[in-house]
A = this chain, B = another copy of it.
């Protein structure tokens, strides 16, 4: 099925890494036979394609949407006039079983404590020893408080606002600056790389100003791919891929600007985009709500895919979380790395003549919700989506390209 290590005499034939029907235990085999017999009501030795999803659910218990799609494609290969034979049915069930650990009634009962629940501790210990990495990119016109927000997010001076140096002119093209820091909390070390893009949107003509950013994101994929396919690759591939892009929208109160739309449309296929409304304190409650509503409409109209996307809708907990985030997007945020006394405690905030805007107060802005998502609940998911969705898309296209060129040269067409 899957083609393999480049061919030349030593072609790999990889039938499948699934185990086959011969490897089933008596109990497993009997469960499948029973399911087949129940569905094959007229003893024709055939089962309707439409009955198979139910039979799978019945034997293996809850199967995710994604897995069910795979079942469907296994069925499609083997079906004939809307039915499958007994041997085909057994193969479908065995492959499905071997691709999941959700085995429902086929699980083998234990007669005592074994102790493999310690696997949880075993994996965290290994991860802790290695430390974590997270690569965040911030994009937006100058003066939107990008650096301040990032510093507030991580409670550390991880990004230096460019306006600090009054002498620094706005670059005449888009620059890309990456700076790394290691921060540690309760024994967890995190290498955080903040990539800034000064000059974005700051020109008179901002045509194509997303190109250097798209290129940069793809270059990181290219570096990762080059290491992944190299013969003597590193034990852990250094990961410079951008895991999340915070995109700053001006608090205009109107709608997305054409530049916002173009940027997101050009980037949404290669990076997880999280849009935020910068300096949300300049908007009244009503303005903010209607602006957010309008932005969500614009995003929908222009088919922009922002993070989170592609979560498993079968997973109740994940869906609830994703829905909660969806409702908040774009986060209206206020940043401040300065502590202000409110009552007798210090809070991060902005002192105005009419009061203090507390950054971490959920009634004042959505900074806390943004931080909870980015750091406390979805950081690992952002990394996994980058690796399993965006990077895989890049890799597939890149190898496909190479494959086509190669077969053009050799005149072969090895599929």
Contacts and interface: CB of A to CB of B under 8 A. Distances in A.
17 contacts: A4-B230, A6-B406, A8-B405, A10-B401, A14-B227, A17-B239, A19-B178, A98-B238, A99-B238, A106-B182, A111-B155, A111-B156, A115-B185, A120-B128, A126-B384, A231-B400, A231-B403
Given A117-B186, A375-B116, A380 B122 contact: yes
A2 B402 contact: no
Contacts of A103: 182, 189
Contact of A227 (B17, B112, B181, B392): B17
Interface string A380-409: 110010001000100010111111011001
A381 B403 CA distance: 36
Contact of A187 (B117, B156, B190): B117
Given A116-B185, A126-B380, A183-B110, A396 B133 contact: no
B226 A132 contact: no
Contacts of A58: none
Given A116-B379, A182-B107, A188-B120, A226 B154 contact: no
Which has the most chain B C-beta neighbours within 10 Å: A23, A178, A229?
Answer: A229
A179 to B, nearest CB: 6
Given A14-B226, A227-B17, A230-B4, A185 B108 contact: no
A389 to B, nearest CB: 9
Nearest to A125: B380
Contacts of A227: 2, 14, 17
A254 interface: no
Interface in A155-208: 155-158, 160, 177-191, 193
A12 interface: yes
Contact of A380 (B123, B182, B315, B396): B123
A237 interface: yes
B229 A114 contact: no
A376 interface: yes
Interface stretch (A217-225, A245-253, A259-267): A217-225
Interface residues of A, number: 114
A65 interface: no
A177 B23 CA distance: 7
A158 B405 contact: no
A88 to B, nearest CB: 20
Given A5-B226, A98-B180, A190 B116 contact: yes
B189 A380 contact: no
B119 A132 contact: yes
Contacts of A100: 131
A6 B237 CA distance: 19
A177 B240 CA distance: 43
Interface in A88-145: 97-103, 106-120, 122-124, 126-134
A183 to B, nearest CB: 5
Given A185-B117, A188-B119, A240-B19, A388 B110 contact: no
A229 B182 contact: no
A371 interface: yes
Given A17-B238, A101-B133, A177-B23, A2 B379 contact: no
B156 A132 contact: no
B231 A4 contact: no
Contacts of A225: 4-5, 12
Contacts of A222: 12, 14
The 9 A-B residue pairs whose C-beta atoms are closest, nearest first, are: A101-B131, A14-B226, A4-B226, A122-B380, A2-B230, A103-B182, A17-B238, A117-B186, A108-B181
A123 to B, nearest CB: 6
